[in-house]
Structure 1
Amino acid sequence: MESSVDNRHRPPLLMEALAEVRASSLCNMFNYACVIITLQDLGFELQADWLEEHLDSYNEILIHEFSQWLQANPRPFRESVAQRVARETGLELIEE
C-alpha cells in the first residue's frame, strides 16, 4: 500500500527520530503525546513540532512507512543520534 502522506514538508531525520523514541522504550509508539514529549526530551524539537501539527498523518506513517523503514534498517543505530552528532562535531562523547 502506498502512503498518501506528503513527504515534501517533513523534517529531516523523522524516521531516525522515531526509531530513537522506539529504542528508548519510554512509551508506546501509538501514544502520540508520549512520542512528542520523548522527541522533545531527546532533542528532536523540529520533528516533535512537525508531528504535533500533523497528528492526522501519524498513524499512517507509523503503521505503513515506519514499519517498512524499520525492516529496511533493522539496526539503524550503532550509536545514538546525539553521540553521532557529538562525534561528527568534535564534541566529547559521554559514555552511557
Structure 2
Amino acid sequence: MNDMIDTMRSWVLEHEAGGAGHLGVSFRASPQENAKQAGWVEFDSPDAMGQLILWETGECEIDVGSLDGERSIIRSATVKTRQELVVLLNEVADFFG
C-alpha cells in the first residue's frame, strides 16, 4: 500500500509543477518508524482549506471546507486502487474551483 502513498506524492508534485494558481497543495508522510504508515495531502486557497489522509491499509479520510462554512466534504472511504485515489484527489482539488 506504500505505492498508494507514493501516488499521493506524485500527484502533489504534478499539481505543484502545473501551477494550480490559487490552490496550494502539499504532501507529508508519517515517519518510517510509525507502525501504521500514512500520507497527507493538504489543500489551501484564499477561500477554503482541508486535507486528505490515506493510511497504508487503504483507509482514507477527507475533510475540506470553505472558510465561510457554506461548503464542505467530510467523508471516509476505502481506497483499493491508484485510480480510486486519483479520483478522490481530483475531487478534492475540484472543490477549490
Q: Does the pair score TM above 0.5?
A: no
TM-score norm. by structure 2 comes to: 0.24
More helix by proportion, 1 or 2?
1
| Larger RCO (CA within 8 A; separation ≥ 6) | 1
